[in-house]
Amino acid sequence: IPSIGGSGSHTFSISQLTGLLGLNSANTYLFFGNSNPGTVFSNFSVVQETPPVITSVTTASGVYGSAFSYQITASGSPTNYAATGLPAGLSLNPASGLISGTLTSHPGTYTINLSASNAGGTGTSTLTLTETPAPLTVSANSASRTYGDANPAFTATFSGFVNGDTAAVISGSPSFSTSATASSSVGSYTVTPGLGTLSAANYSFGPLVNGALTINPAPLSVQADSLSVMYGVALPTLTGTITGIKNSDPISAVYSTTATIGSIVGTYPISLSLVDPNNRLPNYTVTALPGTLTITPAPLAAAITGPQPGYLALVNAPIEFDGSFNKSGIPAYGVSWTFQSATLPAISAAGNVVASDIWTGTVQNSVSFPSAGLYLTSLSVTDSGGHSASANTVGNQSEYVVVIDPTAGSLTGGGWVPVAAGMLPGSPTATGKGHFGLEARYAPESGKLTGHVEFEFNAGNGDDDAHSNVAPVHLHFQATALDWLVVENGRADLKGVGTLAAADDDQHLPPAPPKQYGFFLSAIPGHGHKTPAQLRLFVWDPQTGQTVFDNQANASIIDPLAGQTVLGDGSIEIHHPAADQH
């Protein structure tokens, strides 16, 4: 449209409008005419364009690391937008007026200058953007410990990092609190985190998320001691060891066993139970280790208590034998008696146990002997474990019984026996000949034992019997009383008492003391040169037990099994009622 000025009628044409009219005046121009093309326009107005006015809010907020969006709004249909002072991470679309992006700058307050422009000019405004720190969640890590231990050092996990940040941006450490102490019972306890000394340039801390402390049971070991005790002895005090008690908890153990003082040899469990007056055991995992009580065998022992050694009885008369044995603790027990004479087979009898307790058994048997003899007696006991014990003495004397048969026969003899060194303890080097004479028999009518025994030995005084260079020795023994005579199966044993007398011409020995000496004589008749007669003579002091003479020096006092000395000359005869036998 050409420039038009003045008033009046003007003729012009308007083609398609391709831009602004460029009118700067505030006046309004009116055109009048009809609307027919090619003629005159109808009424038409031209209005001048004004600058935009920004109407969007002037304050906004965002969070560090979060997406941010702000739309600039303005009147006047702006055709262009501008913004200065944008924090890092934000940008403006100049055509739409949209500010967007992710905040990467440090939190703070930013002043942003905004503008919107059109053909009429430019409108401005100021936006105050407040950027706040990003929140970090602080989560207390769950932890565990054993009952009675100190609490561990608690830790936390941080979440909510943005912009590729890591925990390296954090300084300081959180604080923690819990109600659990070293004495707290097994269970779960809250661990509460606090800010402590935490700091980070672009972050705040929260929320604070609790964790859990789990207190686990402590291991508690109870070991019963293994012990041993001999059978029949009072049981030992049962003991053991408790390991792992915490916080001085008053837990103790009681030990027990099924064994008693009378329990037989073997092994017995030692069990245990815990005493917990304060109910602290739920805080422990208990390992109970039982022990073993071993009962070991006691020494098996036997003893003969009766009759007294030398008990005298007739053939076929019952003799009561008494004994006892100490138990080993390994039943069953086998008890037996054995009776051994010089010439007859041994006699055995099963022991009759008449009483028994934990420790001992009492044995009592009545035994009769059909044949005369000196019977050495022994008591034996065995257990099922193969242990054995025996006794053959009463006190310190060999146990034997004397079984006589007054009708079995009589004994006579005389001659000499060699006396070797050591047979006379008072003169141990003396040797020579010992002359003897003997006779013993039971009277048929009264049954009384009568007879005599005499033994004489001389050495060192020029006597023909002397074969030693020692000082003169004289021994003269004469029986004064006979106790018993046993005739059995080609052998005779005789016991009695007598006196010692010094020879009238012997000035070297003091007078023999006026007392009785015991003697035991064992005689075996001879049968020609093949079986010569033999004699043992044993004389002793019953008050001191010292030997005066014994031609079997290593034999016991009364020993039917001891040997004899072959006669140097003479004879020994046993006379039986029916006929004499040698």
pLDDT in tens, 60-111: 999 999 999 999 999 999 999 999 999 999 999 999 999 999 999 999 999 9
Helices (DSSP H) in 146-242: which residue ranges?
none
Q: Specify the pLDDT at position 238.
A: 98
463 pLDDT more than 90 = no
The reported pLDDT for the residue numbered 501 is 80
Tell me the pLDDT band of 469, cut-offs 50, 70 and 90: low
Q: pTM for the whole thing?
A: 0.67
Give the pLDDT band of residue 20 (cuts 50, 70, 90). very low
Q: Is the pLDDT of residue 512 over 60?
A: no
Residue 571's closest CA among 436, 373, 442?
A: 436
**CATH class as words, domain 301-403:** mainly beta
Mean pLDDT score, 325-345:
95
275-302: average pLDDT: 98
What pLDDT was estimated at residue 4? 54
More confident residue, 4 or 17: 4
Where does the pLDDT of residue 240 fall: very low under 50, low under 70, confident under 90, or very high at 90 and above? very high
Is the separation of the CB atoms in 520 and 577 below 8 Å? no
pLDDT of res. 502: 56
More confident site: 409 or 49: 409
| Pick from 535, 536, 537, 534: nearest CA to 517 | 537
- From residue 578, give the alpha-carbon distance in Å to each of 85, 441, 581: 162, 15, 9
The lowest-confidence range among 140-149, 273-282, 464-473, 503-512 is 503-512
Residue 125 has pLDDT above 50, yes or no: yes
Distance of CA 89 to the CA centre of its chain: 75
Q: Is the pLDDT of residue 21 over 90?
A: no
Q: What is the pLDDT of residue 3?
A: 52
The pLDDT of residue 558: 74
Q: Does the pLDDT of residue 416 top 80, yes or no? A: yes
CA distances in angstroms from 264 to 225, 255, 269, 298, 460, listed in the order given: 20, 20, 14, 10, 66
Residue 13, token pair as written in the block: 């044409």
Interatomic CA distance for residues 523 and 438, integer angstroms: 10
As given in the structure block, the two tokens for residue 250 are: 């008053």
Q: Which of 278, 78, 304, 58 is nearest to 185 (CA)?
A: 278
Q: 21 or 98, which is more confident?
A: 98
Q: Please measure the distance between the N-terminal and C-terminal CA atoms of the chain and give it in whole angstroms.
A: 194
Distance of CA 570 to the CA centre of its chain: 78
Q: Using one digit for the tens of pLDDT, what is the confidence trace for 134-165?
A: 999 999 999 999 999 999 999 999 999 999 99
Per-residue confidence band for 19, with pLDDT thresholds at 50, 70 and 90: very low
Inform me whether the pLDDT recorded for 28 exceeds 80: no
* Residue 237 buriedness (CB in 10 A; 0-12 / 13-18 / 19+): exposed
Whether the pLDDT of residue 18 is over 70: the answer is: no
- Cα 130 to its chain centre, rounded Å, is 75
CATH architecture of 219-296: Sandwich (2.60)
Question: pLDDT: is 345 or 579 the higher one?
Answer: 345
Residues 6+ apart with CB under 8 A from 288: 222, 272, 274
The residue-averaged pLDDT of 129-133 equals 98
Q: Which band of pLDDT confidence, cut at 50, 70 and 90, is reported for residue 563?
A: confident
pLDDT at 25 (0 to 100): 42
Q: Which fold has domain 59-132?
A: Immunoglobulin-like (2.60.40)
Q: Mean of the per-residue pLDDT values for the chain?
A: 89
CATH of region 134-216, choose from 2.40.128, 2.60.40, 3.40.50, 2.40.50: 2.60.40
Number of Cβ within a 10 Å radius of residue 334? 12
Residue 23 banded pLDDT, cuts 50, 70, 90: very low
pLDDT at 482 over 60: yes
Distance (Å, rounded) from C-alpha 342 to C-alpha 430?
Answer: 30
Q: Is 423 exposed, middle or buried (0-12, 13-18, 19+ CB in 10 A)?
A: buried
Question: Does position 26 have pLDDT exceeding 50, yes or no?
Answer: no
The reported pLDDT for the residue numbered 36 is 54
Place of tokens 């009492």: 362
* Integer Cα distance of 39 and 37 in angstroms: 5
Identify the pLDDT of residue 460: 66
DSSP character string of 40-64:
---SEEE-------B-S-SEEEEET
Predicted confidence band at 514 (pLDDT cuts at 50, 70, 90)?
low
| pLDDT reported for residue 134 | 98
Mean pLDDT within 484-505? 86
3-state SS, residue 378: strand
Q: What digits encode the pLDDT tens for the residues 346-362?
A: 999 999 999 999 999 99
Task: Report the distance separating Cα 92 and Cα 151, nearest Å.
Answer: 55
382-404 pLDDT, tens digit per residue, is 999 999 999 999 998 899 999 99
pLDDT at 578: 64
* pLDDT score recorded for residue 389: 98
Q: Could you give the percent of the chain with pLDDT greater than 90?
A: 79
Whether 12 shows a pLDDT value over 70: the answer reads no
Report the pLDDT value the prediction gives residue 5, as an integer from 0 to 100: 55
Q: Indicate whether 481 pLDDT > 50.
A: yes
Categorize the per-residue pLDDT at 254 as very low, low, confident or very high, splitting at 50, 70 and 90.
very high
Q: What phi and psi values does residue 320 have, to the nearest 5 degrees?
A: -90, 125
Q: Using CA atoms, how far apart are residues 205 and 200, in angstroms rounded to an integer?
A: 9
Cβ-based neighbours of 430, under 8 Å, separated by 6 or more: 419, 421, 424, 457, 459, 460, 468, 470, 473
190 vs 555, more confident = 190
pLDDT of 524 over the 60 cut: yes
| pLDDT at res. 445 | 87
Own/partner long-range contacts of 26-35 (Cβ < 8 Å, ≥24 apart): none
CA distance 332 to 345: 28
* Of 234-238, 292-296, 513-517, the least confident: 513-517
Give the pLDDT mean for 299-315: 97
Inform me whether the pLDDT recorded for 29 exceeds 60.
Answer: no
Cis upstream peptide for 502 (omega within 30°): no
Average pLDDT over residues 20-46: 48
Position 582 scores a pLDDT of: 39
CA–CA distance, 438 with 449 (Å, rounded to integer) = 13
